Structures are given as C-alpha cells and as structure tokens.
Structure 1
C-alpha cells in the first residue's frame, strides 16, 4: 500500500523575489558605479553606485540565507554588488 500525500509543503521555501531584487540592484550598480566617474554628477560613484551595490550585497545575502528560489540571481547580484564596491574603493584609493 502506498502513502500518497495530498498536501503541498511550502514551509521551507520562499519566493524568488529577494533573489531578483539582488540581481536588479547589482545590475543597476554597474552603470551607477562606472558611468558616473568624471561625468560632472555630484558625488560620482559614491552617491550613484555605492548605495545600489551595498543594497545588492545585502539583498543577495538575505536571499541566500532565507533559502529563496532562483539562487543564481541572488549570487549574480551579490557578485556584481561586491565587485562594484571593490571597484569604487580601489578607484578612489589608486585613481588619479
């Protein structure tokens, strides 16, 4: 005799929204970090790219810790955000 369960277990899963939020923030941090340097915009990458990059890192960590689906999007957003934070810091430290 087989045991067939008619219920669906959703307790351990979240939606993919946090993962895609991390991805969008990470993608937006790239032009905000790169294109604003020497453009005449006030604050350059510190104002336009860094907040988006930091938010992408935080959103990626939250999505991965919360077992959200679409982990690839969370990791991509986390990597993009981290790379832009590193780029801004290095550009400021070693730029002319």
Structure 2
C-alpha cells in the first residue's frame, strides 16, 4: 500500500506509527516541520488561490510522462528524493522536475 500525503507538516502524520514489516509506504509533501508549496497560482487575481501543490502536481505530471506499466515506486521515490533541501531550492527543483 502506498500513501501520498499532501499538506504542510505532512511528514508528521505517520511518525512512529508504521511497523517496517507492514509493507506500507508513505511519501509526504514536506517534513514534519516544514511547509509544502503551492503552484498554479493566479498571478493577477486571487493571489491566495492556487490549483495545486508542487508535490502532487509534480507527481501527477511526472506520471503523465512515464510509462506507468514499468514505472516503479523505487524510481519515482528516487526522482523526488533527490530534490535539494531548502524551501526555495526545493521549490525550484520540483518545478524543473515537472
């Protein structure tokens, strides 16, 4: 089973809850104490209105580019895990990845 958790501080949701032998994988938009980042925000109107988050949008757009019959969770994880740390650098890495 795989969970994709999209929210600020989402890394805190499963901390210490899952035994390693359960065969459940969780990937989150952010660490336990960091924000996730919005994307597809209106530049002129409703600046607080965004259509997605970099985590989910990047993952979905990446899925459109990959052959989902052969794309593995491991390949997907490595692609996103290699994004640099730090909010601005991480945000830019997700944009480039998309």
Quickly name the TM-score band, shorter chain normalised. under 0.3
TM-score by length of 1: 0.25
User: Which of the two has greater helix per residue?
Assistant: 1
Q: Which has the larger radius of gyration?
A: 1
TM-score by length of 2: 0.24
User: Which of the two has greater strand per residue?
Assistant: 2
